[in-house]
Amino acid sequence: MSAGAPQTGFRDEAFERRLSARHRRGDLYRWLCFAAAAVGVITLAALLLDVLHDGLSRLSPQFLSSFPSRRPDEAGIKAALWGSIWMISLTALMAFPLGVGAAVYLEEYASNNWLNRLLEVNIANLAGVPSIVYGLLGLGVFVRFFGLGRSVLSGAATMALLILPVIIIASREAIRAVPRSIREASYALGATRWQTIRHHVLPSAFAGILTGTILALSRAIGETAPLIMIGALTFIAFTPVSVFDPFTALPIQIFNWVSRPQPGFHVNAAAGILVLLAVLLAMNSAAILLRNKFQRKW
């Protein structure tokens, strides 16, 4: 500053004093913003280290293969793990076709009429409904009205509705990314609308749709509140053999152990969290790998 300014033979000392104060304020702001971003990362690290510290020593084949027990060191997550696998598979079977179907309709067929505008607004708002309200829906409709009871099927159906908006939104984005020219080329060769979608649009958008679906399912596998509502039990000494069996799930088992006063169960909860986080990590890695492997640049 002082090197450039004197050429005019004039220095505004007040300005320069203010300028350095302004720069100091700017530096402070920069550091505060950095600190804000750091807090999130530090908390994440603290959370992971805390859970690892509490639960790592408890992880063992016995923990994975035992049913719940009143004695913490004999309890395990076999029922919860299998319950989660059952539930998430059924959820995927229901939510994937419905979500992709709705996305194809909205992107490829829908014209701008009242029904389709209603669909759009509705999906956007469903995405903002708290998960516990879906639990009330599941309780009122699947458990009571359809009489499915507190079964895996009730749980999976509730979860499917919960993640449906997420799958629809992700699939629509993937479908929208397929260029128009692909469709026009297909039509020009005489293909019908469905043939175009079936043979060109869907295969091109498939990686994106699958990635979105896996991310949505990984949300469902960690959801707790809706399952408590529909009455997933916590003390179950068997694995489901049919979709009408009662069940428990990983987050429910973790919640049950956290809520007990004995520290031994808290250790179990931490170990259960490690298993849950490992499952989530595996699902998310799969999603990222798929995206990188099949992503097309048009």
Written as one letter, the residue type at 11 is: R
Q: How far apart are CA 247 and CA 68, in angstroms?
A: 12
Distance CA 105, CA 197 (A): 10
Q: In angstroms, give the least distance from the CB of 214 to other proteins.
A: 12
Q: Which window, 79-87, 106-114, 180-188, 290-298, contacts other proteins (CB under 8 A)?
A: 106-114
Least separation in angstroms between residue 202's CB and other proteins is 12
Residue 132 interacts with other proteins (CB under 8 A)?
Answer: yes
Beta bridge partners of 151: 246
CB 183 within 8 A of CB 195: no
Could you tell me how many residues of this chain bind other proteins (CB under 8 A)? 84
> For residue 158, how many other CB atoms are within 10 A of its CB?
27
Which of residues 124 and 177 has its CB atom nearest to other proteins in the complex? Answer: 124
| Smallest separation, CB 293 to other proteins (Å) | 18
Query: Of the two residues 66 and 234, which places its CB atom closer to other proteins in the complex?
Result: 234
Residue 79 interacting with other proteins (CB under 8 A): no
Residue 266 sits in the site that holds other proteins (CB under 8 A): yes
Q: How far is the CB of 113 from other proteins (least distance, A)?
A: 12
Minimum CB separation from other proteins for residue 52, in Å?
Answer: 12
Q: Segment 175-194, which members bind other proteins (CB under 8 A)? A: 192-194
Interface residue with other proteins, options 137, 156, 201, 214 (CB under 8 A)? 137
User: CA 267, CA 279: separation in Å to the nearest integer?
Assistant: 19
Query: Which part of the chain contacts other proteins (CB under 8 A), choosing from 6-14, 57-65, 68-76, 217-225?
Result: 217-225
For 121, the token pair is: 């607004």
Number of neighbours of residue 50 by Cβ within 10 angstroms = 12
Instruction: Please tell me whether residue 105 binds other proteins under the rule CB under 8 A.
Output: yes
Q: 293: which residues sit within 8 A by CB, 6+ positions away?
A: 207
Binding part of the chain for other proteins, among 19-27, 57-65, 74-82, 177-185 by CB under 8 A, reads 19-27
Give how far Cα 238 sits from Cα of 190, 251, 271, Å: 56, 17, 20
User: Please, which residue, 61 or 261, has the CB nearer to other proteins?
Assistant: 261
DSSP readout, 151-207? BHHHHHHHHHHHHHHHHHHHHHHHHHTS-HHHHHHHHHTT--HHHHIIIIIHHHHHH
Select the residue interacting with other proteins from 91, 204, 211, 224 (CB under 8 A): 224
* Residue among 63, 82, 86, 134 that touches other proteins (CB under 8 A): 134
Angle formed by the axes of helices 202-222 and 250-258, to 10°? 20
The reply to whether 59 sits near other proteins by the rule CB under 8 A is no
Shortest gap between Cβ of 21 and other proteins (angstroms)?
Answer: 10
| 3-state SS track over 85-113 | HHHHHHHHHHHHHHHHHHHHHHHHHCCCC
- Per rule CB under 8 A, is residue 135 in the interface with other proteins? yes
Residue from 1, 6, 12, 35 binding other proteins (CB under 8 A): 35
The tokens for 83 are 């319950």
